[in-house]
Structure 1
């Protein structure tokens, strides 16, 4: 009897250990009994939360599934717009398993790679439909917001016009992402048991040929605006230069007028002083004038004067006393 107890205890211990399983944090488990997913009373797959659980040994198989939020960062793909132009879009999707039983069956055993492949196809199909109904300028632009326009004043006319031109296109990029998220979320839940949290377009590129043509057009437009600004600048410079020259000419004319008036007043005062001095002593005034004439006449030694010594020019030299002879 004792010899049978030891094998029975060992078999019981093995059966007990085989009936225990542990679910780690961030994971969920489902049990397959005879190849079918074990369900609860509501006919929904029974999900085992993190912790220690029991199963029927040899009949139940536990499948561990990742319950964390997954990020599907797909490769860039090419799409065609309503203008029949190509755009290259790089996007990502955030998702998590919601219905673990449905996910297990739809992905062939809970394979994350298979789930992302199927989800990627759904996202691509919806995104292709959204892109195909819009133009490039609608795809790359966000919604128009006229509140950012500044008040129109004389000092910021250029800024206001540029802002209005930039806001002429009512972009639908946010609307595209919202539509893709809603449509994909519904299909992914029904077909894969996945809840899609977010969808974003990270990058929107154009093929090299289209990019070059767009850059050339943008460059031509900017050069046209630059030429217009330079032309307006030259026009304003000419106006400013003409006004400055007019002001200079006016200032010079006023200065010349003032100088002539001042010079005329000074000459009048000098003539009056000379006249007053002559009236006080005509003889002395004549003597001073003769001295000035001598100084100017004899300032250069090379000058030769042919004059009569008895002329009036030498009347003050002929008298030692400085009085003229009768």
Structure 2
């Protein structure tokens, strides 16, 4: 064999060894170079890296922000009112060496299990110290920030940073919904009864005030009517007196005619009188004499 026959396999083996010693990390990844399970190098910047072929291996991890949807968790707030809570967290790997030592070969999957426990523990701790109304309110930013900070402290031991934690659902357990709805309905019915009672009381006050106003207006109207009637009677009597003073005989004549009309009207009771009674004075003669005073 010639030397060329030996050189070609050697070059192929050497080329393969060189290629197997190189690896590429893109901008979405971080990488560790391990030798028999021990960390020998950390590659956090994108680009070309090197390792010893057959002895060292490259383990890649996500450099992007990752998400974690926790399982529904039942918590008991300060007022012993049970709630079902689930959350969503965003996290990223910040310390590759600690992360590898903490989760081992399981990588991100093992980290998700650990983080789920950490976040659930923080949720129980924070929500267990506040009343349920604070958890069920629309503004839960303060509570979520406290949960994030509490979980972030524990997650640092994993080489992980928890960026944010959001409560996606806070509901009552299914077995408590019917009782809660019944209690809410009873409270609303009680409030409605109170409003009806207050409305009835207000209506009674308005009605009493209206009745009093009617009585006052009626009394005032009657008073004014009596005053007007009295003034009219006084004016009438004044006219009669003035007329009597001007022609007493004519006044007596008209008064007698009025008396005849009223006494002789159909349907009246029978009257028995002497023909020469003063009542028939103007029916007996053509001459008109004024009746004597007192007749």
Q: Give your verdict on TM over 0.5.
A: yes
The residue aligned with 1:65 is 61
- Specify which of 164, 181, 184 is matched with residue 151 of structure 2: 184
The residue aligned with 1:153 is none
Distance between the aligned counterparts of 1:235 and 1:99, measured in 2?
72
Q: Is the 8 A contact 2:115 2:155 kept in 1?
A: yes
Distance between the aligned counterparts of 1:296 and 1:200, measured in 2?
103
In the TM superposition, residue 72 of structure 1 has moved relative to its aligned partner by: 1.0
The residue aligned with 1:141 is 133
Distance 1:287 1:297, change over 3 A: same
Q: Per-residue CA shift, 1:54-100, capped at 9, x if unaligned?
A: 31463453333211222211120224567776432212222111112
Q: Is the 8 A contact 1:97 1:193 kept in 2?
A: yes
Within-5 A mapping of 1:10-25: 18=20, 20-25=22-27
Distance between the aligned counterparts of 2:51 and 2:252, measured in 1?
152
Distance between the aligned counterparts of 1:15 and 1:318, measured in 2?
168
Distance between the aligned counterparts of 1:261 and 1:231, measured in 2?
45
The residue aligned with 1:275 is 241
Q: Is the 8 A contact 2:90 2:163 kept in 1?
A: yes
In the TM superposition, residue 261 of structure 1 has moved relative to its aligned partner by: 0.8
Within-5 A mapping of 1:81-92: 86-92=82-88
Q: Is the 8 A contact 1:141 1:173 kept in 2?
A: no
Q: Is the 8 A contact 1:140 1:204 kept in 2?
A: no
The residue aligned with 1:102 is 98
Matching of residue 49 in structure 1 with residue 45 in structure 2:
yes
Distance between the aligned counterparts of 1:141 and 1:18, measured in 2?
61
The alignment partner of 1:141 has SS state of helix
Distance between the aligned counterparts of 1:2 and 1:209, measured in 2?
83
Q: Per-residue CA shift, 1:225-252, capped at 9, x if unaligned?
A: 4434443443343333323322221221
The RMSD of aligned alpha carbons is 4.3
Q: Is the 8 A contact 1:103 1:110 kept in 2?
A: no
Q: Per-residue CA shift, 1:96-119, capped at 9, x if unaligned?
A: 111123323433436322211121
Within-5 A mapping of 1:1-326: 18=20, 20-33=22-35, 35-39=37-41, 46-50=42-46, 52-56=47-51, 58-59=53-54, 60-80=56-76, 86-109=82-105, 111-129=107-125, 134=129, 138-142=130-134, 174=142, 178=146, 180-190=147-157, 192-286=158-252, 288-289=254-255
The alignment partner of 1:38 has SS state of strand
Distance between the aligned counterparts of 1:105 and 1:317, measured in 2?
146
Q: Is the 8 A contact 1:177 1:201 kept in 2?
A: no
